[in-house]
Structure 1
Amino acid sequence: MDKHKRKQVRNIPFRMIIPNMITSGSVFCGVSSIILTSHGKLLPAAALICFAVFFDVMDGRVARSLGGGSHFGEELDSLADAISFGVAPAFLVYSAYIGPDTGIWGPLAASFFALCGVLRLARFNVTHVPAGPFQGLPIPAGGLTLAAMVIAGAPVTPLVAICAMCFIGALMVSSVPYCNAKRLNKHNVNKVKLYGMTTFIVLCFVVLREKAFLAVALMYIISGLVRFDGAAWIMLDAEDERSAEDKE
């Protein structure tokens, strides 16, 4: 390696390192969840998948705010998502609801879910249009739904768990449009609708408690099936958006 290349490696801007460090938190959560699941600690394992969602949201926001996004970061994010929202939740649901008594069908369903998640990530990297809705269920939503089943203590039979993993996996590789909240910013949101939706979600957690994650995840899944785009509903129309920008 010549002197110029060594200098390039040493001088990586810190603003590019921070988002990748946050993404690494998602990897930590995913691997830790798998280990805890293998020891029968199902609730902590499910909670770590929820924490991974937080890291997945924050790494992108931090990268955009610092101007530190990179191709490396995008690839790292996909690899982290494959672990935290593909492999970890599939193993969690298999361990919590299915087990070896179902023979080959349980491992097949878990593998199918993880494979669909990986395919979803690969397709996203090459086809996603930032300004539009997601094509297919995002893998964090799919993984969170499986983890939420465990957190809620849902009385799920092995057959239902197998069907759930197959159905959610199929949604991830489908063309069903899903809400993309990344389109929202302070200039283009209807604050009344935003506060109303936020209040509704908070009330879900107050009333439903540990079942709220599952309720919110199922509502998101259903929103795509009925073609309801929450982000588009919250966004201002073009004229109102220009007025909001003029007031800033």
Structure 2
Amino acid sequence: MNHKVVIPNAFTLANLLLGILSLVYTMDGNFRLAAVMILLSMVLDGMDGKVARKLDVASPFGKELDSLSDLVSFGVAPAILVYAAQMYEPYGIVGLIIALIFALCGAVRLARFNILNISTHFLGIPITVAGPLMAIFTLVSDHLPTLFFPVSMLLLAGFMISNIKIPKI
């Protein structure tokens, strides 16, 4: 067994750990720290694939682990964060439904990404962009109108499952 494979998977699991911590901080009402955990997850997510390719240990297992981690860190955690911090009070059940739609569209986007194996572009906005955007919006929420959150969450959910071609950088 190639022990180098552990290194990129450690980055992926750290991404997942930060996503889970974001959920815990959201439950504790520490929304700023929850948003920061999502942004730190983004940094780790950007590193795991690069490390795997550099060490020549990219694998189907790593790809699946990455998607599962991304669903938590960039789908579920931002959805729950934005619901708790911005949409619970003014929107109630409607806000919850919007948050659920965001997380579900993120799951569909990741599943589609895994089976299409397109190397030239992304189909729809990556969940790794949508989730961190919602975290950033939460950090600057004092400067945004209340209606911004449900609208942006629905738009990003739709863009994640859209057929928009986004070039890979």
Of the two, which has the highest radius of gyration?
Answer: 1
**3-state SS, counterpart of residue 139 of structure 2:** helix
- Cα separation, 2, equivalents of 1:152 and 1:48: 15
**3-state SS, counterpart of residue 84 of structure 1:** helix
Residue 180 (1) aligns with residue 168 (2):
yes
- Cα separation, 1, equivalents of 2:130 and 2:54: 27
Of residues 40, 46, 58, the one that matches 1:69 is 58
- 1:209-248 → structure 2 map (5 Å cutoff): none
Corresponding residue for residue 99 of structure 1:
88
Structure 1: runs of 5+ lacking an equivalent = 1-11, 182-248
The amino acid across from 2:111 in the alignment is A
How many residues align structurally? 169
Higher-RCO chain (CA-CA 8 Å, sequence separation at least 6): 2
For 1:2-37, what per-residue CA distance to the aligned partner results, in whole angstroms no more than 9, with x for missing partners?
Answer: xxxxxxxxxx31111111111001011000001001
Shift of 1:108: 0.4
Residue 55 (1) aligns with residue 36 (2):
no
Corresponding residue for residue 113 of structure 2:
124
Shift of 1:155: 3.3
**3-state SS, counterpart of residue 147 of structure 2:** helix
For 1:180-211, what per-residue CA distance to the aligned partner results, in whole angstroms no more than 9, with x for missing partners?
Answer: 12xxxxxxxxxxxxxxxxxxxxxxxxxxxxxx
The amino acid across from 2:67 in the alignment is S
**What TM-score, normalized by structure 2, do the two folds share?**
0.95
Of residues 8, 12, 36, the one that matches 1:23 is 12
The amino acid across from 2:151 in the alignment is C
Corresponding residue for residue 102 of structure 2:
113
Shift of 1:40: 1.0
Residue 139 (1) aligns with residue 99 (2):
no
Corresponding residue for residue 168 of structure 1:
156
Corresponding residue for residue 153 of structure 1:
141
1:97–1:157 CA contact under 8 A, matched in 2: no
Percent same amino acid at aligned positions?
Answer: 38
Shift of 1:129: 1.4
Residue 90 (1) aligns with residue 67 (2):
no
The amino acid across from 2:138 in the alignment is V
Root-mean-square deviation (CA, aligned residues, Å) is 1.2
- Cα separation, 1, equivalents of 2:90 and 2:151: 16
Structure 2: runs of 5+ lacking an equivalent = none
